[in-house]
Amino acid sequence: MNDSADTNLEKKSEMNQEGEDALIPEGSPPEEEKSPLELLRSEYDDLNDKYLRLAADFENFRKRSVRDTEQRIAQSIGQFARDMLEVADSLDRALEAEGGAHEGLAQIQKLLIQVMKRQGIESFESVGEKFDPTRHEAIAMIPSDVDEGTICDQVCKGYCLQDKVIRPAQVVVSQGTAPVEQK
- List, for residues 95-131, the tens digit of each pLDDT value: 888 876 778 888 988 999 999 999 888 999 899 899 9
> Which tens digit of pLDDT belongs to each residue from 56-69?
999 999 999 999 99
pLDDT band at 15 (very low <50, low <70, confident <90, very high): low
- What percent of the chain is modeled with pLDDT above 90? 44
Residue 101, Cα to own-chain centre: how many angstroms? 46
Residue 30 vs residue 105, higher pLDDT: 105
pLDDT on residue 176: 76
pLDDT on residue 119: 85
Residues 110 and 49 in one domain: yes
Question: With contact defined as beta carbons under 8 Å apart, do 139 and 112 qualify?
Answer: no
144: in domain:
yes
- Say whether pLDDT at 23 is over 70: no
Residues 110 and 126 in one domain: no
Residues 47 and 78 in one domain: yes
96: in domain:
yes
Specify the CATH number for the domain of residue 170.
2.30.22.10
Q: Is 99 left (phi over 0), alpha (psi -120 to 50) or beta?
A: left
150: in domain:
yes
Specify the CATH number for the domain of residue 99.
3.90.20.20
Q: How far is CA 14 from CA 3, 21, 48, in A?
A: 17, 11, 46
104: in domain:
yes
Please state, in angstroms and rounded to a whole number, the distance separating the CA atoms of residues 74 and 126.
25
pLDDT band at 77 (very low <50, low <70, confident <90, very high): confident
**Which residues constitute the domain of residue 99?**
36-118
66: in domain:
yes
> Which tens digit of pLDDT belongs to each residue from 148-166?
889 999 999 999 988 889 9
Mean of all residue pLDDT scores within the chain: 83
pLDDT on residue 102: 78
Rounded average pLDDT over 37-50: 94
Residue 79 vs residue 65, higher pLDDT: 65
In SS3 terms, 14-82 reads as HHHHHHHHHHCCCCCCCCCCCCHHHHHHHHHHHHHHHHHHHHHHHHHHHHHHHHHHHHHHHHHHHHHHH
Residue 79 vs residue 32, higher pLDDT: 79
Please state, in angstroms and rounded to a whole number, the distance separating the CA atoms of residues 172 and 151.
6
